[in-house]
Amino acid sequence: MVAGPLFYLGVGSDAHWLATSDVPLFISRRRLQNRRTFPRAVTRWVLDSGGFTEMHKFGEWRLSSSEYAAQVVRYADEIGHLDWAAPQDWMCEPSALAMSGRTVAEHQRLTVDNFVDLRQRLGLLVVPVLQGWDYDDYLRCVDLYAAEGVDLESERTIGLGSVCRRQAEGDIARIIASLMPLRLHAFGVKGNAFVANRDRLVSADSTAWAYQARYNAPIPGHTHKHCHHCQVYALRWRRRLLRRLDQLRLPLDIG
């Protein structure tokens, strides 16, 4: 059991939040890749590789591991306060498999191979990610890492992929429970699943606030039509989520 989950607020579109936010942030490489200059971070943050979009738009990674590693190093140096970066993992949702034309096993193999390559290039700045779809897939992914000499139990953080689009919270809980005592970060986990698995996660991230804001009226006094790019709305949503944990009297590291 971990001491309490660290929650990274997913940044919808504005990388400048790195310079204005005092809470941990989660931001996609795709929000940074076309910028000439970068904000200096005043908070800790995590870099998402943008794999979900790569898989669902192109069915493959168009960026080499050396190019990705160079970007990570630049972000770490020029933005600062980078906790870790995700590898170029291959999602295993049925929709991602349909785009790539590959199997779950092939996506897992590609994910592990990429991590091994990036660990040589980036050291501990990159973390391993477990990919799968069915319950047993994740256990097979653990075995793939072991075969490459990666001791997952010694890793500070391990990403848990292909859970953000799952609707069955019981399935998420079962997968997480089967992977204990690994120190898991749940990518894009929904609020209810985050709270339900609070004692089994080391960290999580979510941009669910942006989806919620897109279909609701803006905060009173705000002039935009919706608040799906609004930092004020995002921070209010985060406070409500963390208040649910406070009410359960659980230890929580909020950065």
Quickly tell me which residue has 């075969």 as its tokens. Answer: 147
User: In the CATH scheme, what is the code of domain 6-247?
Assistant: 3.20.20
Confidence of residue 229 (pLDDT cuts 50, 70, 90): confident
Q: Between the CA of residue 215 and those of 136, 208, 228, what are the distances in Å?
A: 36, 12, 9
Per-residue pLDDT tens over the stretch 183-210: 999 998 887 888 889 899 999 999 888 7
Per-residue pLDDT tens over the stretch 155-187: 999 999 988 766 567 888 999 999 999 999 999
Confidence of residue 24 (pLDDT cuts 50, 70, 90): very high
pTM: 0.90
On whether the CB atoms of residues 62 and 25 are closer than 8 A, the answer is no
Residue 193 CB coordination number (10 Å): 24
Give strand pairing partners of 158: 184
> H helices then E strands: how many in the chain?
10, 8
pLDDT of residue 3: 45
